[in-house]
Amino acid sequence: MIYKRSFSLLLAAVVLAGCNPVLNNNEDDEVIQREDEEQQQTTPSIIPTVQISEQFYRTVLPFKPGAARGLIVNNISNRLDINVFETGLLRLSQQPFPTDDYFYQEGQYITAEDINTWTQRQNDEGKGLNPPLSGEGNLEQQNNQNPEYLSHILEQNFLTKNENDEYQLGGISIGLSLNSVHYFNQEDGFPRQTDIPRETVLAKGKEMANTILQELRTREGLAEVPILIGIFEESPRNTVQPGTFISSGIAESGEASIGDWSGVNSQYVVFPSNEATENHYSDADKMTMFQEDIAMYFPNYVGVIGRGLYRGDELQKMMIDIPITFYGKAETIGFTQYVAGLVEEYFPKYVEVEVNITTLDKPQSLIVRESKEEPFVYIYE
């Protein structure tokens, strides 16, 4: 059972889907025809005409799995990075491919084989975008000199409607996920690691982006499609702070390289942390008071971890995890209502807030407040 306050079942579906870009409403569906590239015949698809939020893309139904679906969990070890990588690329896409005009579809053109080939070390046939080991010196020396940079490639497709009311590919976004730390084993099996400076990550990412772009332009149907490429820097393993996009650029119709790259002025900051206190003192102070008020209500809680998304110096979104042990449903309801009140008290209305309350890693309740909206509260049975 789900107990709710100030929300509709429709919006519950939105929040429970997380930052899923393929949100739909079954009402007022529009049936259209599109050409299936494999079968070369028209098949019916449904594109919802109701858009729940400008933050989300509508999608074509029935759902068509991506050509490399599921591979991301094998290539990126940090779950936080996976979430931020996917949703961050969607945010970057909204400028060249506005949600009012474009419809989302999982990537159909870059296959799992492509990704596995491009993310390997370059072999004798010239395949692979990561540099080969030199063969000179021991494994630690070789890996320090030539770390593996590229770990994963994510593709997202965006559809438009043409003059015949048919839906066709209107844009592609590609995310390149690069390591900030290269992990490897020595000859004796002992694990080692080497840090990769951001300027190196950025330079290698741009170089690889243009190589991939040139290859895609040779493929059928992709020569004239605008392609956005974002460079994502992963966080180190076993950290609570996710990675971030550090640059993006777009190749307009027919262009086979990106010459104009733009910095992405956003980052995640963990609360509490020295970085938060030094660079965002006001927000860190609010999080401290938030945590102290929780301790007054429920003194045996484990702790509060916050991850704030900043664009420039302004806090845009705060994600908070509260692990706690309850001994009854009434405790859960009362505590969740109390925390929802604290969200209203300590975080400005323009800041999106998401609070996950868990017991032994099992979700107990969820509080979501969109920018300038009232909080939505969910209690799980």
336, part of any domain: yes
Q: State the pLDDT at residue 54.
A: 58
Q: Do residue 274 and residue 254 come from a single domain?
A: no
pLDDT band at 361 (very low <50, low <70, confident <90, very high): confident
Domain of 70: which CATH number? Answer: 3.10.570.10
Q: Do residue 228 and residue 351 come from a single domain?
A: no
The string of DSSP letters for 172-226 reads EEEEEEE-SEEEEE-TTS-EEEEE--HHHHHHHHHHHHHHHHHHHHTSTT-SSS-
* Domain-terminating residue out of 264, 299, 324: 264
**How confident is the model over 301-345, as pLDDT tens digits?**
778 999 999 998 999 999 999 999 888 899 999 999 999 999 999
**Cα distances (Å, whole numbers) of residue 22 to 52, 231, 290, 317, 370:** 10, 23, 33, 21, 18
**How confident is the model over 126-145, as pLDDT tens digits?**
899 999 999 999 999 999 99
203, part of any domain: yes
Is the backbone of residue 64 left (phi > 0), alpha (psi -120 to 50) or beta? beta
The alpha carbon of residue 11 and the mean position of all alpha carbons in its chain are separated, in whole angstroms, by 21
Boundaries of domain holding 313: 270-380
341, part of any domain: yes
* Domain-terminating residue out of 215, 237, 264: 264
Q: Say if residues 367 and 2 touch (Cβ distance below 8 Å).
A: no
pLDDT band at 240 (very low <50, low <70, confident <90, very high): confident
Q: Do residue 62 and residue 181 come from a single domain?
A: yes
Question: The whole model's pTM is what?
Answer: 0.79
* Residue 36 in this model has a pLDDT that exceeds 60: no
Q: Do residue 248 and residue 152 come from a single domain?
A: yes
Least confident of 234-243, 351-360, 364-373: 234-243
* Residue 11 in this model has a pLDDT that exceeds 80: no
Q: State the pLDDT at residue 61.
A: 81
**Comparing 15 with 263, which gets the higher pLDDT?**
263
- E strand or H helix at 11: helix 9-16
* Residue 215 in this model has a pLDDT that exceeds 90: yes
pLDDT band at 62 (very low <50, low <70, confident <90, very high): confident
Is there a cis peptide before residue 242, judged by omega within 30 degrees of 0?
Answer: no
The β-bridge relationship of strands 150-161 and 167-178 is antiparallel
**Comparing 169 with 265, which gets the higher pLDDT?**
169
The count of domains in the chain is 2
Residues sharing a CB contact under 8 Å with residue 114, sequence separation 6 or more, in sequence order: 68, 153
List the beta bridge partners of residue 322.
Answer: 357
C-alpha span between 373 and 351 (Å, rounded)? 10
- Work out the burial of residue 127: count CB atoms within 10 Å of its CB; fewer than 13 is exposed, 13-18 middle, 19 or more buried: exposed
**Residue type for position 118:** W
- E strand or H helix at 288: helix 281-297
